[in-house]
Structure 1
Amino acid sequence: MDKLSLAGIALALVAVIGGSILKGAGVEALLSPAAFTIVILGTLAAIFLHTPMSVFMHGMKMAKMVLMPPRHDTQALIERIVGWSGVARKQGLLALEGEVEAESDPFIKKGLQMLVDGAEPDAIRSILEVEVQTREHLDLQGAKVFEGMGIYAPTLGIIGAVMGLMAVLKNLADPSKLGHGIAAAFVATIYGIGSANLFFLPMAAKLKAVVADQTRVREMLIEGLISISQGENPRNIESKLRGYFH
């Protein structure tokens, strides 16, 4: 669990709800089915038009990584790579076949299998880099789902406010309804700007950071496998791989 993200969500809610209470508007002022319909449903409608279904669904699956990002024990991975290097230098690449069978990560397993099969370093790099780039592109598209929602939500909030003011103008003859109507009109603006800047855009930024971290780990792994294939000294491999995480 990412405690910082959890704290951010909690503080965002406190900022909006607490601010409304401290300003004297109260919690009730933030409750508006009409504003929710215009802003949230409108934002979903816009992102549905903006994004292919497969990308949207992938983005929704990625959302959990904001609170539960994948953890990478880079120190342990470097030690494993160095261990594989030592085995390969002493017993040959075929000795890593047991590591292939025991590996659960598909990407690592694929790279080790190529080592055992005696693939050339250039072939290992080109095949694995294509997989890394493809995965990175897909994950970034998923993160951009929330970025798109952060772009559309404020505009929908303005539309909601304008629609609310239009309703107010129809009741100019009844001054008792003006104050309540104007307040309700601006709730949509709060929904739009608040959801974009407190949730959607920060989520997109966090997911992009997670994707970048995953890509860096995979690039380090590729470099390690190439170094093993070329028969480099385990100490040199360790020094090289640690440079990825200074």
Structure 2
Amino acid sequence: MDPAGIIGIVVALVAIFGAMILEGADPMSVMLPAPLLLVWVGTIGVGLAGHTLRDAKESFAAVPRALRSGIPDPSDTVDTLVSLADRARREGLLALEDAARTIDDQFLRAGLQAAIDGTDPEDLRMILEDKIATKRTRERAHAKYFQDMGGYAPTIGIIGTVISLVHVLENLAEPATLGHSIAAAFVATLWGILSANVVWLPLSTRIRRISDLECTQMEMTLEGLLSVQAGANPRLVGERLRSLLPDAPEGKDAKAKSRAA
């Protein structure tokens, strides 16, 4: 699990409300039901209006996974593919049928099973590339949903402030209450900006980033599977796959050299 998403949101909220306390303000002074209702519910409403009901359900369902999801470690997948390439080269693809059942990675397992079943390499590439493209498109739609909500929220907050200021102007005859009423009017703007920049936009970026990392690993897995199917040299398979990972070659080479020494 990579806790950066949760930690980041919590740190931002602590900084905001900590600054209020240091300024001598009461954080509860911004917990007004009307602005909270307008900004949060209103933003979800207009977000839904610009998308489909399925988009909304899938986007919110993607949030827990995006926040809890860890950064994929491609080194384990590379080691697995090298091992499969070595066995396939010695015993043939059919010998990998038992190994395919024990692989946890669903994408790798499905691709390997297709290769064992004799799927043409070009067809296998097309099938797996389509799976990657479908995943990327679906998760881009989830990210776009929250990105749009991040754009709507500040405007919804301004609407709330205007509504409150209209109410203030209707009560100019009571000057004793003007200060409190004007301060309360700007709470909606605060929540609009806060929700956009602390919740909706970070969620959008997080979903997109996790998707990019996972799709990159899937693309690397695809190349490895095709190499296994072609009976490529295991050492060359490992070198090629690690060359597709920007941070992997140095670490792997360093470990190999240290063991050799």
In the alignment, structure 1 residue 90 sits paired with structure 2 residue 90: yes
CA contact 2:100–2:109 (8 Å) conserved in 1: yes
1:5 to 1:182, Cα distance in 2 relative to 1, 3 A: same
CA contact 2:115–2:229 (8 Å) conserved in 1: yes
Alignment of 1:77-116 (within 5 A): 77-116=77-116
Question: Partners of 1:28 and 1:197 in 2: how far apart?
Answer: 20
Could you say which residue in structure 1 is the equivalent of 2:49? Answer: 49
- Where structure 1 has 5 or more consecutive residues not aligned to the other structure, the ranges are none
DSSP-derived class of the 2:186 partner: helix
TM-fit CA distance, 1:125: 0.3
Give the ranges of 4+ consecutive aligned residues of structure 1 lying more than 4 Å apart after TM superposition: none
CA contact 1:55–1:138 (8 Å) conserved in 2: no
Question: Partners of 1:23 and 1:11 in 2: how far apart?
Answer: 18
For 1:122-177, what per-residue CA distance to the aligned partner results, in whole angstroms no more than 9, with x for missing partners? 11100110011011111111122211111110010110111111111001111011
Normalising by structure 1, report the TM-score. Answer: 0.95
Could you say which residue in structure 1 is the equivalent of 2:26? Answer: 26
Equivalent AA in structure 2 for residue 204 of structure 1: S
DSSP-derived class of the 1:17 partner: helix
Could you say which residue in structure 1 is the equivalent of 2:61? Answer: 61
Equivalent AA in structure 2 for residue 76 of structure 1: D
Question: Partners of 2:11 and 2:70 in 1: how far apart?
Answer: 23
Equivalent AA in structure 2 for residue 124 of structure 1: L
Equivalent AA in structure 2 for residue 236 of structure 1: L
For 1:219-238, what per-residue CA distance to the aligned partner results, in whole angstroms no more than 9, with x for missing partners? 00000011112222111111
CA contact 2:172–2:178 (8 Å) conserved in 1: yes
For 1:97-122, what per-residue CA distance to the aligned partner results, in whole angstroms no more than 9, with x for missing partners? 11222234332221111111122211
CA contact 1:2–1:66 (8 Å) conserved in 2: no
Alignment of 1:1-246 (within 5 A): 1-246=1-246
- Where structure 2 has 5 or more consecutive residues not aligned to the other structure, the ranges are 247-261
CA contact 1:9–1:199 (8 Å) conserved in 2: yes
Identity of aligned residues (%): 38
Equivalent AA in structure 1 for residue 76 of structure 2: A
Normalising by structure 2, report the TM-score. Answer: 0.90
CA contact 1:120–1:229 (8 Å) conserved in 2: no
Equivalent AA in structure 1 for residue 105 of structure 2: D
TM-fit CA distance, 1:71: 4.3
Q: CA RMSD in A?
A: 1.4
CA contact 2:71–2:210 (8 Å) conserved in 1: no
| Alignment length (residue pairs) | 246
CA contact 1:97–1:113 (8 Å) conserved in 2: yes
Question: Partners of 1:148 and 1:239 in 2: how far apart?
Answer: 42
Question: Partners of 1:148 and 1:216 in 2: how far apart?
Answer: 25
Question: Partners of 2:33 and 2:235 in 1: how far apart?
Answer: 63
